[in-house]
């Protein structure tokens, strides 16, 4: 009789790669006609528009405001400012080398009437870099690197005797998540790709300042008392999909699924970031962001981030 641990591991990994298979089938279904086999150089020239290197991205400034004055039904005035940057670098050469790098920055703050502190509305910093060797027009052998952290301190807010107080619970590089691995990279275009990495290492790094006073059995972002890191080994599927669902409405999706081979293999950690851009004109647009994150080692609960705003949107 098979041990439940191995059954759960097999189930998790099967689900992970089933999702990848369905994603790739969907990609193939989008092709209106079969692609001819092309020399590497022709593929490279077609993908980059005749360029060896390509730089492109998007930056945006969003704001939300609510103001109340003598409003009998009540309400608190608030102003939220958000800045985001999504920038890409692509490189290819005649030998079939492909190098794609993405920088993601999103940061914001909220001012609420009656509070003496500015409060964080968003804080993300992420670098993704992938180096591949072309097998054919769409497939590549790949190695990837991913780094995530925050830029500003995070606080827990509370009141003592009616006075607002706060305690620092996180900061730059605490936590920081680093991932690297080997696998296969499918890229139809800059708007659609999937990376399959059955060999993937992951480490969570924190400052000992936050772990030295933990009680026995407690963890800080998955890291145990008096330690500064935790190592994982598993499989990762990540991807990106972008489409115009109707005129002037663009839907962007970034996702990743991770299975840890070493422990709790029944859990699949996932990170899905969906962004709907409602274009008013070439500069003004609205954004609706829904970010769902589940990582059993970080918090063990579904994390939800939702942002809606109107602002300036500039393609770089």
Q: Which residue has the tokens 């920038």?
A: 87
Q: What is the pLDDT of residues 34-92, one digit of tens each?
A: 444 555 555 555 555 555 788 999 898 888 888 888 787 777 898 999 999 999 998 88
Whole domain around residue 257: which residue ranges?
4-315
% of residues, the chain, pLDDT over 90: 52
pLDDT at 115 over 80: yes
- CA dist 29 and 111 (Å) reads 47
What is residue 223's DSSP assignment? B
Structural domain count, the chain: 1
Listed range (37-41, 145-149, 168-172) with the worst mean pLDDT: 37-41
pLDDT at 228 over 70: yes
Structural contact between residues 11 and 259, judged by C-beta atoms closer than 8 angstroms: no
Q: What is the pLDDT of residue 241?
A: 93
Q: What is the pLDDT of residues 263-311, one digit of tens each?
A: 888 889 999 999 998 888 877 888 888 999 998 877 778 999 888 887 8
What mean pLDDT is reported for the chain? 84
Mean pLDDT, residues 98-111 taken together: 94
Residue 45 parent element (H or E): helix 40-47
Q: What is the pLDDT of residue 3?
A: 46
Of the candidates 181, 166, 210, 197, which has an alpha carbon nearest to the alpha carbon of residue 17? 197
Residue 7 parent element (H or E): helix 4-30
pLDDT band at 7 (very low <50, low <70, confident <90, very high): very low
Q: How many CB atoms lie within 10 A of CB 106?
A: 23
What is residue 224's DSSP assignment? P
Q: What is the pLDDT of residue 98?
A: 87
CATH number at residue 234: 2.40.128
């Amino acid at each position: 009789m098979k041990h439940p641990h191995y059954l759960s591991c097999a189930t998790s990994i099967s689900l992970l790669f089933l999702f990848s298979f369905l994603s790739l089938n969907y990609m193939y279904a989008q092709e209106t006609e079969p692609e001819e086999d092309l020399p590497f150089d022709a593929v490279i020239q077609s993908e980059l528009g005749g360029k060896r290197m390509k730089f492109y991205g998007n930056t945006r400034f969003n704001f939300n405001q609510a103001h109340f004055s003598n409003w009998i039904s009540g309400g608190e005035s608030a102003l939220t400012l958000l800045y985001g940057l999504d920038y890409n670098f692509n490189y290819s050469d005649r030998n079939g080398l492909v190098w794609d790098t993405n920088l993601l920055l999103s940061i914001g703050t909220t001012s609420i009437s009656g509070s003496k502190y500015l409060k964080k509305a968003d804080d993300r910093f992420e670098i993704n870099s992938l180096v591949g060797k072309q097998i054919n027009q769409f497939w590549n052998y790949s190695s990837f690197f991913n780094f995530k952290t925050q830029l500003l301190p995070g606080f827990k807010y509370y009141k003592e005797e009616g006075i607002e107080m706060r305690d620092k619970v996180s900061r730059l590089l605490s936590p920081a998540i680093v991932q690297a691995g080997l696998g296969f990279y499918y890229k139809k275009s800059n708007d659609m790709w999937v990376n399959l990495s059955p060999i993937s290492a992951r480490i969570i790094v924190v400052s000992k300042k936050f772990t030295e006073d933990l009680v026995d059995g407690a963890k800080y972002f998955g890291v145990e008392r008096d330690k500064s890191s935790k190592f994982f080994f598993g499989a990762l599927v990540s991807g990106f999909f972008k489409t115009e669902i109707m005129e002037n409405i663009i839907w962007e999706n970034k996702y990743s699924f991770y299975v840890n081979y070493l422990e709790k293999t029944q859990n699949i950690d996932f990170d899905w970031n969906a962004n709907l851009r409602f274009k008013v004109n070439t500069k003004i647009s609205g954004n609706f962001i829904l970010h769902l994150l589940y990582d059993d080692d970080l918090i063990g609960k579904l994390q939800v981030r939702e942002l809606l705003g109107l602002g300036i949107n500039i393609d770089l």
